[in-house]
Amino acid sequence: MTDKKIKLSGAYNFRDFGGYRNKEGKRLIRGRLYRSDELSKITAADQEKLVQLGISKIIDYRNKKERLNNEDRPIGNAEILYLTPIADIAALASSEHDEARALSPQKMTAALAKELMIRQNEEFVENKQCQDVYREVLEIHLAEEGAIVQHCRGGKDRTGYGVALIQLLLGVSEADVMHDYLLTNVYKKEKNREKPAAVASRDR
Sheet of strand 147-151, all strands in order from the earlier edge strand to the far edge: 4-5, 15-16, 33-36, 147-151, 55-60, 79-82
pTM strictly above 0.75: yes
| Sequence-ordered strand ranges (E) for the chain | 4-5, 15-16, 33-36, 55-60, 79-82, 147-151
- What is the C-alpha separation between 105 and 89, in angstroms, rounded? 15
Residue whose C-alpha is closest to residue 59's, from 129, 160, 159, 161: 159
- What is the C-alpha separation between 141 and 137, in angstroms, rounded? 6
Residue spans of the chain under pLDDT 70: 1-3, 87-108, 195-204
Task: Please answer whether residues 101 and 154 qualify as being in contact, where contact means their C-beta atoms are separated by less than 8 angstroms.
Answer: no
